[in-house]
Amino acid sequence: MSTAREERARAAGEADRLTAQGVSGVVLTMVDTAGITRIKTVPVSALPDAVRWGVAMPPVFDLFLADDSVTGGGLTGAPEGDLRLLPDLGRLTPLAAQPGWAWAPADRHDQRGTPYPGCQRLFARRMTERAAERGLALRMGFETEWVVGRDADPSRSRPAAGPAYGMARFVELSDYLRDVLDALVAQGVAVQQLHPEYAPGQFEVSVAPSDPVGAADLAVLVRETVRAVSARHGLTASFAPVVEAGAVGNGRHLHLSLWQDGRNLCRDGDGRHGMTAVCEAFLAGVLRELPALLALGAPSAASYLRLEPSRWAGAFQCWGPENREAAIRFVAGAPDADWAANAEIKSFDAAANPYLAVGAVIAAGLAGIDAAATLPPPVVGDPAEVGGHKRLPTSLTEALAHFERSAVLREALGEPLFGAVVAVRRAEAARFEGATPQSIVAATRLRY
């Protein structure tokens, strides 16, 4: 554990390095309860002070909705008080598509310097530590999907008309996609794939797995990099769950594998498709809790316009090997690649706060291990056609009701995180009560 003085000295060194690279300022990010990335920036010269004392940011952000209105939610003291954003120096990254700027994700402490229990990033870290106490490590990675347009409504202004997964769509935006790739690589992001997706104008980038907090940090960095490159090309990027009512939307699937003593527990076991019993119990815990987890992983009214059957979005509470319609797709991987076996949670989208998502998934999985939970038989084929599988919640209100009843998530999140989620989801659901799909899409398309 380094002392505050050492940390400050380290930050001074980093600040010098950034200045030499022509960086003027550092942007500090947090992701709020509604899934919006909110920021403060400081000049590079102020980085050492920011690392030592933090940058003021009030707790009221926890009660912001995606449209910037603020809900009271019955929580006391929301307008008062202050917190400190503390940049994580280990993640400090010059931003390739925003020359002159660097980025660092931040934790939140109170004014006495104590970790704030409502900090989403610290929650993800707490759950990672909870797994580590049992000798377990998680490798996680988000897939980012987005739709490009020429203006505020990408569905009416497609810069790329080429077909799904098509070479033609890639050729149309070749320079843009090269710049996306170059910017990510320049920032040290281990890109695995970049390709045109199913929906018109849609693309996807996937990155190598990392630790859970790192995966959530990368979700923030990847999205803002894509957004910045898009802006430089005169394009808008929509990461919202749905950009066009009634069509395939943007997911942000979460891949995970479970490790113990350097061994991937998703393979070489005696269970189904090579799973170990611990892996099966973890996934069973996640599957069981999934209706409640959706309040975190699919947190917008728009999420439920995406989460429809037969759109590869994972609308049913089931799992299956390599099944793109199952909420949990199990990937057995290849015999010669021990890292490859993993499970993909398909139901999540990019309105989610990635820190809450990874932390809550770990909590649900560990509860599954505690209960020695087992998976039901896997689904074969499209669950919408084979029948017999439960639909996941079809509205934010329904997901919230499951969340409020989830003892596992309530305990793991603790107050005030649990309360903030309930307050914000309630307010978001009320905001869109009775709204048409079109108006939900229009209100959320460019918010995330």
Q: State the nearest-atom distance from the C-beta of 309 to ligand GLU, in Å.
A: 12
Instruction: Determine how many CB atoms are found less than 10 A away from the CB of residue 331.
Output: 17
Instruction: Pick one of Mg ion, ligand GLU, none as the site partner of residue 118 (Cβ within 5 to 8 A by kind).
Output: none
Q: Is 324 in the site for ligand GLU (CB under 6 A)?
A: yes
Q: State the nearest-atom distance from the C-beta of 253 to Mg ion, in Å.
A: 7
CB-count burial class (<10 Å; 0-12, 13-18, 19+) for 396: buried
Please work out the total of residues on this chain that contact Mg ion, with binding judged by CB under 5 A: 1
Q: Which stretch binds ligand GLU (CB under 6 A): 53-61, 100-108, 311-319, 412-420?
A: 311-319
Instruction: Pick one of Mg ion, ligand GLU, none as the site partner of residue 313 (Cβ within 5 to 8 A by kind).
Output: ligand GLU
> What is the C-alpha radius of gyration for the chain, rounded to an integer number of angstroms?
21
The encoded tokens of residue 253 equal 């699937």
Q: State the nearest-atom distance from the C-beta of 202 to ligand GLU, in Å.
A: 7
Q: Specify the residue for token string 């849609």.
A: 202
Instruction: Determine how many CB atoms are found less than 10 A away from the CB of residue 22.
Output: 9
Exposure b/e, 347-360, CB count within 10 A at least 16 = b = bbbbbbbbbbbbbb
Q: Is 313 in the site for ligand GLU (CB under 6 A)?
A: yes
Q: State the nearest-atom distance from the C-beta of 206 to ligand GLU, in Å.
A: 9
Using the minimum distance from each CB to ligand GLU, give the nearer residue, 165 or 234. 165
Using the minimum distance from each CB to Mg ion, give the nearer residue, 350 or 356. 350
Q: State the nearest-atom distance from the C-beta of 200 to Mg ion, in Å.
A: 14
Which residue type is seen at 93?
A: T
Please work out the total of residues on this chain that contact ligand GLU, with binding judged by CB under 6 A: 13
| Alpha carbons within 13 A on the beta-carbon side of 351 | 34
Q: Is 428 in the site for Mg ion (CB under 5 A)?
A: no
In the set 101, 103, 239, 312, which binds ligand GLU (CB under 6 A)?
Answer: 312
Which residue intervals of 45-113 are DSSP H helices? 47-53
| Alpha carbons within 13 A on the beta-carbon side of 277 | 4
Q: Which stretch binds ligand GLU (CB under 6 A): 26-34, 45-53, 162-170, 244-252?
A: 244-252
Residues 201, 148: contact at Cβ < 8 Å? Answer: yes
DSSP of 373-388: --PPPPP-S-HHHH--
How far is the C-alpha of 113 from the C-alpha of 54, rounded, in Å? 9
How far is the C-alpha of 130 from the C-alpha of 142, rounded, in Å? 21
Q: Is 306 in the site for ligand GLU (CB under 6 A)?
A: yes
Instruction: Pick one of Mg ion, ligand GLU, none as the site partner of residue 389 (Cβ within 5 to 8 A by kind).
Output: none
In the set 48, 154, 251, 354, which binds ligand GLU (CB under 6 A)?
Answer: 251
Q: Is 248 in the site for ligand GLU (CB under 6 A)?
A: yes
- Residues from 194 through 213 that contact Mg ion (CB under 5 A): 204
In the set 212, 249, 291, 354, which binds ligand GLU (CB under 6 A)?
Answer: 249
DSSP of 101-134: EEEEEEEEE-TTSPBPTT-HHHHHHHHHHHHHHT
Q: Using CB under 6 A as the criterion, which residues of the chain lie in contact with ligand GLU when the complex forms?
A: 145, 197-198, 248-251, 306, 311-313, 324, 346
